[in-house]
Amino acid sequence: MLKLPPISLYIHIPWCIKKCGYCDFYSYVSKKKIPEEKYISNLLKDLEKDLKLIYTRKINNIFIGGGTPSLLHHKSIENLITGIKKRTKLSKFTEITIESNPKLIEYKRFKNYKKSGINRFSLGIQTFNSNLLKKIERTYNKNEAIKAIKEVKKINNNFNIDLMYGLPNQSLKNALSDLKYAVKYNPTHISWYQFTLEPNTSFYKKKLNLPCENIIFQILHQGEKFLKKSGYIKYEISSYMKLQYKCRHNLNYWNFGDYIGIGCGAHGKITKINGDIIRTIKNKNINQFINGKYLNSKKLILEKDKPFEYFMNTFRLYQPIYKKHFQERTNISINQIKNNVKKALEKKYIIENKDSWETTKKGKIFLNSLLEIFLN
């Protein structure tokens, strides 16, 4: 019998105060009152439909993302968590994360979020430089960002700070200053990733003065050195943890685990008992969604595409990739990829051990080239 992978739950809250020019996530700026009650009710109905696909598996982790989930009243979050617990089994140590906008953090609301079951907070700070925040169209300044961190620290020890580097006109000094501010408040986790311009964003058409490759390299090199010195372990391309505070939900993605995605525009990946893997995308039309039309598309991952999909996630991690794990998660023999592996070894992108593969430093630098080897 096929060993099914662990499963997480992603919940998409689509509303935002303002759409940032670099953001390519599905979000919706509402000029009217948010229909929280109706949306939560339909999220739970959406969940009920997907639960039929996961058999008896327990939900290991929950991530509430967006958009801006912290726009919702604490009662809405409480009803959501309570509704999930009534409908499914959660593992004993389920991690429940909510993404938060620094502009919207209110001590009382966040204290109630924790009472509802939220045990991890993720703050989308991006930078502590007020001028850069304005340039990338964030709705808060440096002082508000710092205040938000202090408020969350009062409520919960386990929290993440999201930062970006390579911002328009950002210098090496400014980028390192962001890390120094973040480390000062001792978060358990820091997500530090490069600012990029995606084709379907308003910034893509603008001529932004982004740092050159040499400055980006210096930022990354010196920033990683500083984080390591400050006690943070790099376990994924853009993720740094203290002790064992990995983001369990994202770690499940990167290990090619399964996840249900509910809410407008949410993506899901579910392995069936016969070894088939399907990807789901939910309806992006908010009016249709709250009137019961949840599923937009359901697509089977073809056998020939499974290796690429698997390695696209696992090669991001700084850990061995076990051959047994590959076979369990894809239901494919390693003999089917021996020529691809041989080519990756020749390019010195990976090294091979008896039971595992590992990406080399060169493989991490040229990750896209490495992945192309497994692309059919």
Task: Give a yes or no: residue 287 inside a domain.
Answer: no
pLDDT of 332 strictly over 90: yes
H/E element, 96: strand 90-100
Mean pLDDT of 30-41: 88
Q: Are residues 15 and 124 in the same domain?
A: yes
Two structure tokens written together for 8:
């997480």
pLDDT at 107: 81
Within-domain flag for 162: yes
What pLDDT, on a 0 to 100 scale, did the predictor assign at position 31? 64
Report helix, strand or coil for 267.
strand
Q: How many domains does the chain have?
A: 2
Give domain status of residue 187, yes or no.
Answer: yes
* Contact criterion met (CB below 8 Å) for 118 and 77: yes
Average confidence (pLDDT) over 281-301? 96
Residue 205 has pLDDT above 80, yes or no: no
Separation of alpha carbons 252 and 247, rounded Å: 9
Does residue 280 form part of some domain? Answer: no
Residues 35 and 120 grouped into a single domain: yes
- The CATH number assigned to the domain holding 342 equals 1.10.10
Q: Where a domain ends, among 225, 252, 279?
A: 252
The CATH number linked to 155 is 3.20.20.70
Of 252, 277, 293, the domain-final residue:
252
d(CA 311, CA 306): 9
Average pLDDT for the chain:
94
The pLDDT score that the predictor gives to residue 329 is 97
pLDDT tens for each residue of 207-259: 788 999 999 999 999 999 999 999 999 999 999 999 999 999 999 999 999 99
Tell me, yes or no, whether 241 lies in a domain: yes
**105 — pLDDT class (breaks 50, 70, 90):** confident
Q: Find all residues with CB under 8 Å of 166, minimum gap 6, and list them.
A: 175, 194, 195, 196, 210, 211, 216, 219
Of 218, 236, 252, which residue sits at a domain end?
Answer: 252
What is the per-residue pLDDT for 63? 98
Give just the sign of the alpha carbon dihedral 143, 147, 150, 152.
Answer: negative
Q: How confident is the model at residue 108 (pLDDT cuts 50, 70, 90)?
A: confident
Statement to judge: residues 139 and 37 lie in one domain: yes
Q: Read off the pLDDT of residues 114-125 as tens digits, 9 standing for 90 and up.
A: 999 999 999 999
Q: Which percentage of the chain shows pLDDT scores above 70?
A: 99
Give CA–CA dist 69/84, Å, rounded: 16
The average pLDDT across 79-102 equals 94
For the stretch 163-184, pLDDT in tens is 999 999 999 999 999 999 999 9
Residue 274 maps to a domain: no
Domain limits for position 221: 7-252
In a shared domain, residues 59 and 194: yes
Could you tell me if residue 302 is inside a domain?
no
In contact, 27 and 242? CB cutoff 8 Å: no
